[in-house]
Amino acid sequence: MIALPKPTDDLSFFEEIKTLSNQHWAEFEINPNIYGFQIQKCSQWRKGLSDEQILNFEKGLGFKLPIPLRNFYAVMNGLNKPGININSNPGSNEIYKPIFYSFSDDLELIKKLIDQVLESFNLQKGYMEANNISRIFPVCGHRFMLIDEPGHPILSIAENDVIYWSDNISKLLVTEIFSDIYNPWDFESNPQNSGSIKFWLD
């Protein structure tokens, strides 16, 4: 059981989570009963992005990163090993894909994931702006940050299935990485916070 710092958007929070998760994965074992992608043992966070790299990331995306996302990428930029799915198809080899997306390796994948969601909802970017519908950004898997919503909550978006998932990226990281923590109440999210979100949860 591990005690974690209370979630914030500060660089210091992400730095501590980076250290603790690297230590956690050093002892981590793949669960043979899980169907889906898992983080490989001895995975490590890659070095964070410089200010110049973040600017290039923003240029590639076409929008500025909000402070929580900027601080996250300034400290850690994806993992040095891809996620692994050992049960993708009985009798077949395991398959691999990124779990936490990185720049610049996954820039085109990030843009593709965003476009796939917009296409599934028949959303045009001009319509979104005119109707104050938040832009989205995939942090990991199909967990998307709402770029333009206060607090930048996280939704799980799989095709047309949308669920309020986490209050912020800090809580998302902890719940995606750790399973046995001393202070889980600090990372609980409140679905009632979804009331002000336009379109996505209508």
Q: What does the H/E/C string look like for 24-87?
A: HHHCCCCCCCCCCCECCCCCCEEECCCHHHHHHHHHHHCCCCCHHHHHHHHHEEEECCCEEECC
Is the separation of the CB atoms in 99 and 79 below 8 Å?
Answer: yes
Domains in the chain, number: 1
What is the pLDDT, as a whole number, of residue 35? Answer: 79
Q: Does residue 119 lie within any of the structural domains?
A: yes
Q: Give mean pLDDT, residues 65-88.
A: 94
Q: Does residue 53 lie within any of the structural domains?
A: yes
Q: Does residue 201 lie within any of the structural domains?
A: no
Place of tokens 């610049």: 104
Question: Which domain covers residue 54, as residue numbers?
Answer: 11-196
Kindly indicate the confidence band of residue 91, based on its pLDDT and cuts at 50, 70 and 90: low
Q: Does residue 121 lie within any of the structural domains?
A: yes
pLDDT tens digits along 144-187 = 999 999 999 999 999 889 999 999 999 999 999 998 899 999 99
Q: Is this model's pTM higher than 0.75 or not?
A: yes
Report the CATH number that the domain containing residue 77 is assigned in CATH.
3.40.1580
Indicate whether 125 pLDDT > 90: no
Is the separation of the CB atoms in 146 and 200 below 8 Å?
Answer: yes
Kindly indicate the confidence band of residue 32, based on its pLDDT and cuts at 50, 70 and 90: confident
What is the pLDDT, as a whole number, of residue 94? Answer: 82
What is the pLDDT, as a whole number, of residue 92? Answer: 66
Best CA proximity match to 85, nearest among 126, 136, 141, 128: 141
Indicate whether 42 pLDDT > 70: yes
Q: Does residue 68 lie within any of the structural domains?
A: yes
Q: Does residue 18 lie within any of the structural domains?
A: yes
Q: Does residue 3 lie within any of the structural domains?
A: no
Q: Does residue 35 lie within any of the structural domains?
A: yes
Indicate whether 137 pLDDT > 70: yes
The whole-angstrom separation of Cα 132 and Cα 50 is: 31
**Helices 51-61 & 67-75, crossing angle to 10 degrees?**
130
- Please, which residues bridge with residue 78 across strands? none
